[in-house]
Amino acid sequence: MKAKLDGARQQSSEDLVKRVAEIKESLFRLNFKKALGDNDTVKSIRREKKELARLKTLLRSRALGLEK
């Protein structure tokens, strides 16, 4: 898991906030597709949710002063 965050740790907080917004938009679209019956999106939704959680955790740790 640490390898997945290495790229994100080197980005600024503003870039991470932008990426979080992009992921939320992507999740909205994927959930809409899933509601229309596209079953291939479930894996993508799971992957996006995990990335969103990782980025939010990183942003929160920065806000608390635990990191950079």
Spatial separation of the C-alpha atoms in residues 47 and 40, rounded to whole Å: 12
What is the rounded average pLDDT of the residues 39-66?
92
Query: How confident is residue 35, by pLDDT bands cut at 50, 70 and 90?
Result: very high
Q: What mean pLDDT do residues 36-40 have?
A: 87
Ramachandran category for residue 12: left, alpha or beta (phi over 0 → left; psi -120 to 50 → alpha): beta
pLDDT at residue number 65: 87
Rounded-to-integer distance, Cα 31 and Cα 17, Å: 21
Q: What is the pLDDT of residues 5-33, one digit of tens each?
A: 777 888 888 999 999 999 999 999 999 99
